């Protein structure tokens, strides 16, 4: 099976051709946003972090920003720094440039204020527009795809219908040689033993148990109860009674393939097949981690309905709740509710989802893309100092 994609200098394939503006800290985010405002083909990350972060929290922010720059959906990158932030500006740019794509840098304190920085940024970004405008997508094998799977605003239909249907599509992509990522460690709680049976090696199973254990311990360390946040009020209204129930429904979306490895937040997988990434259950932070890990397309199942998109990747929204599809048709791409009414099987809808993945890979815009939704959020793992 072939799809259309953009082959990057490092050999990886994207399905979109974005010019990305990365502010290395919150202090540079306004300049980045102002540049993107004038260049319709460019998109800026709304970075809220990047300074006064320590240890693994600092490294995680760095890994996420670099991962976004390296993502194959990105054709060229403009790095905008303030000049005195904790995230090293030139190092960030150099790491991204190692992937072979064009990277430019503007530093506000060096160039002399925001107006000069914006003028220089506009000049560089507009040059990128002309530079990448002649790139056309070419036929590539579907195994070049990297699919991130997310669920959010879950209700009873998620575990019963949309997640198992996405699991079918995930299995099809893994069988075709592609990459699939499952995330949201919070939503493995109570289901980790089921997932661990599919780990490729005992070490991978051990890693799975560890990330779930650490997630629970973090809550206990803060003397809080996961029940205060999970399930969410919307989950409860939708019939989900506990994190265990939510988790057992969640993991269906990863299908049945063996789990190759457990990745750190934002880590790029080394091979093909199904991977688990250690992210929180919060949708935006979870998707951000998987995109930093190189995912190029996102499937998002929802029960209650959600508008989420991404700055650099198409997000396909699916619900099996017939009311939600009707109420939120502006946001939801695919109606899986025929599974609930008994008109279609999980397998049939799974194949429809796979067709949708192919169509969106070939350039068709999702509803989130057409509405301009561009959420981005880095998962912080320590306080800011």
3-class DSSP assignment, residue 27 = helix
Of 287, 309, 298, the closest CA to residue 370 belongs to: 309
Name which position in 46, 83, 234, 239 contacts another protein (CB under 8 A): 239
Residue of 244, 343, 347, 355 that binds another protein (CB under 8 A): 244
The nearer residue to another protein, 191 or 328, going by C-beta atoms, is: 191
How many positions of this chain bind another protein (CB under 8 A)? 33
> Considering beta carbons, is residue 7 or 323 the nearer one to another protein?
323
Q: CA 105, CA 93: separation in Å to the nearest integer?
A: 7
* Part in contact with another protein (CB under 8 A); list of ranges 23-31, 71-79, 107-115, 156-164: 156-164
Kindly state whether residue 168 participates in binding another protein, applying the rule CB under 8 A.
no
Shorter beta-carbon distance to another protein: residue 104 or 155: 155
Orientation of helix 163-175 relative to helix 346-361, angle to 10°: 60
Q: Which range touches another protein (CB under 8 A), out of 80-88, 189-197, 202-210, 358-366?
A: 189-197
Is residue 281 at the binding interface for another protein, with CB under 8 A as the rule?
no
Q: Which of residues 293-312 bind another protein (CB under 8 A)?
A: 303
Stretch that binds another protein, among 15-23, 73-81, 240-248, 257-265 (CB under 8 A): 240-248
Estimate to the nearest angstrom the gap between the alpha carbon of 81 and the chain centroid. Answer: 24
Residues 237, 208: Cα–Cα separation, whole Å: 30
Q: Report if residue 242 touches another protein, rule: CB under 8 A.
A: yes
Q: How far is the CB of 273 from another protein (least distance, A)?
A: 24
Write the DSSP string, 39-94: -TTEEE------SS--HHHHHHHHHHHHHHHH-TTEEEEEEEE-SSSSS-HHHHHH
* Contact call for residue 129 and another protein (CB under 8 A): no
Which 323-352 residues touch another protein, going by CB under 8 A? 340, 342
Task: Tell me: does residue 245 bind another protein (CB under 8 A).
Answer: yes
Residues 208-237 that bind another protein (CB under 8 A): 215-216, 219-220, 223-227, 230, 236
CA distance 49 to 383: 11
For tokens 């997000």, name the residue. Answer: 315
Could you tell me if residue 342 is left (phi over 0), alpha (psi between -120 and 50 degrees) or otherwise beta?
A: left
Specify the length of the chain in residues.
385
Residue 310 near residue 81, CB atoms below 8 Å: no
Question: What does the binding site for another protein look like in residue numbers (CB under 8 A)?
Answer: 155-157, 159-160, 189-191, 194, 215-216, 219-220, 223-227, 230, 236, 238-239, 241-245, 248-249, 303, 321, 340, 342
């Amino acid at each position: 099976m072939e799809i259309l994609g953009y082959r990057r200098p490092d050999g990886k394939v994207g399905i979109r051709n974005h010019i990305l503006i990365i502010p290395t800290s919150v202090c540079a985010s306004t300049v980045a946003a102002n540049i993107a405002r004038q260049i319709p083909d460019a998109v800026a990350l709304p970075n809220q972090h990047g300074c006064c972060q320590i240890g693994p929290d600092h490294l995680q922010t760095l890994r996420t920003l670099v991962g976004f720059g390296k993502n194959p959906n990105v054709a060229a990158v403009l790095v905008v720094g303030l000049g005195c932030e904790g995230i090293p500006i030139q190092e960030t740019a150099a790491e991204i440039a190692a992937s072979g794509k064009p990277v430019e840098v503007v530093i506000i304190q060096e160039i002399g204020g925001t107006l000069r920085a914006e003028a220089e940024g506009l000049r560089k970004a507009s040059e990128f527009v002309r530079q990448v405008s002649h790139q056309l997508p070419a036929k590539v094998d579907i195994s070049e795809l990297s699919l991130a799977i997310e669920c959010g605003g879950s209700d009873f239909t998620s575990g019963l219908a949309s997640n198992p249907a996405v699991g079918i599509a995930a299995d099809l992509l893994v069988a075709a040689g592609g990459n699939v990522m499952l995330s949201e460690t919070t939503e493995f709680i109570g289901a980790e033993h089921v997932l661990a049976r599919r780990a490729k090696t005992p070490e991978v199973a051990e890693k799975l148990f560890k990330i779930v254990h650490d997630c629970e311990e973090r809550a206990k360390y803060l003397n809080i109860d996961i029940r205060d946040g999970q399930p969410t009020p919307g989950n409860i209204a939708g019939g989900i009674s506990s994190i265990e129930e939510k988790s057992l429904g969640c993991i269906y979306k990863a299908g049945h393939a063996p789990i190759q490895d457990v990745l750190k937040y934002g880590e790029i997988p080394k091979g093909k097949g199904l991977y688990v990434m250690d992210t929180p259950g919060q949708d935006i932070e979870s998707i951000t981690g998987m995109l930093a890990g190189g995912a190029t397309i996102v499937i998002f199942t929802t029960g209650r309905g959600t508008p989420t998109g991404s700055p650099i990747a198409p997000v396909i929204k699916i619900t099996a709740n017939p009311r939600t599809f009707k109420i939120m048709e502006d946001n939801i791409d695919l109606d899986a509710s025929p599974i609930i009414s008994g008109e279609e099987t999980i397998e049939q809808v799974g194949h429809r989802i796979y067709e949708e993945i192919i169509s969106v890979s070939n350039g068709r815009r999702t509803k989130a893309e057409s509405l301009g939704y561009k959420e981005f959020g880095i998962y912080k793992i320590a306080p800011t100092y």
